[in-house]
Amino acid sequence: MAHSDSARKRIRQNNKVNLHNRTVRSDLRSKIKLLRAAMAESKPETKALLATVESKLDKAAKRNIIPHGRANRLKGRLKKSVQAAKPAA
């Protein structure tokens, strides 16, 4: 257990930030799942979903919730799979 007041405060702050980051990551994963499901069913709103997922990835990377490289890699792979799924539909 922390002994100083500043250490206690740091623990409280870390827990608060951790909770926020967890919700952002969870929301991001949910949006990616929605996008992949829309691609599988070739729904027309796939392009709009891709834009929102890219935006959420950029925001998460900007706030250091996920690494920039992971965000860029996910965006590239999702965009590539959306474009590949389009001619088949």
pLDDT 10s digit of each residue in the chain, 89 long? Answer: 889 999 999 999 999 999 999 999 999 999 999 999 999 998 999 999 999 999 999 999 999 999 999 999 999 999 999 999 876 54
Residues 50/79, Cβ–Cβ less than 8 Å: yes
CATH superfamily entry for domain 5-88: Ribosomal protein S20 (1.20.58.110)
The letter for the amino acid at 75 is: K
Nearest to 81 by CA among 25, 44, 42, 28: 42
What does the pLDDT read at residue 1?
83
The letter for the amino acid at 6 is: S
* pTM given for the model: 0.85
What does the pLDDT read at residue 89?
46
Within the chain, residue ranges assigned H as helices are 5-40, 46-62, 68-88
Domain ranges of the chain: 5-88
